[in-house]
Amino acid sequence: MEKILAQFNIDAMVFGAIVASIVLAFVLVVVIFSVRYKGQYEKIADLRERLKEREEKILLLEESLREVQILNATQVQEIGQYQDLEERYKAEKAKVEEQLALAKERIDTQREKIADLEAKRAELEAHLHNTRDNLAKANEEIENVRKRNEFWVEQLSELRTKYEAIKSKLRKYEG
């Protein structure tokens, strides 16, 4: 090393000073850059930390999204089941309404039949009343005929008695 120094006529102290000033300049550059970029390093570290927090939030949101998708699928299935139930309800309601219409029609038919039967019953009651009146008149007439028959039976009996008396008188005279 001394040969190198001798060639350049540099003294060891001067060489030490040059090396020291180069080292000092290097340290100074490192310090300046570290001070200058320290804030940026802190910002980068802060950004990395926020990035980690956001990644955690994203993971939570993805998990929530999966849960929501599961719930959504469940709700879609429940909606499908509800729609099936609603369709069955509508079909049953239509059947019941049809049966109700038929029942109302039958009731109306039965009411018409009842009205017809009531009219026939009124006619039969009137006919029965007339028949009773006619029967009472016939019974009265029969009673009158019976009384006349009794009268005529009596008359006939008297005539027979007279006839027998006349006949026996004739026999007496003939005999």
Residue 34 pLDDT greater than 80, yes or no:
no
Q: Is 167 left (phi over 0), alpha (psi -120 to 50) or beta?
A: alpha
From CA 160, how far away is CA 163, in angstroms rounded? 5
**Long-range Cβ contacts of 31-35 (<8 Å, 24+ apart):** none
| Residue 49 in this model has a pLDDT that exceeds 70 | yes
Q: Does residue 60 have a pLDDT over 90?
A: yes
Per-residue pLDDT at 1: 57
Question: In whole angstroms, what is the distance from residue 132 CA to residue 138 CA?
Answer: 9
Which residue, chain included where needed, has tokens 């008396």?
165
The whole-number pLDDT of residue 3 equals 64
What was the pLDDT predicted at 39?
76
**pLDDT digits 0-9 by tens, 62-73:** 999 999 999 999
Confidence band of 37 (pLDDT split at 50, 70, 90):
confident
Q: Does residue 147 surpass a pLDDT of 80?
A: yes
Q: What tens digit of pLDDT does each residue of 78-112 get? A: 999 999 999 999 999 999 999 999 999 999 999 99
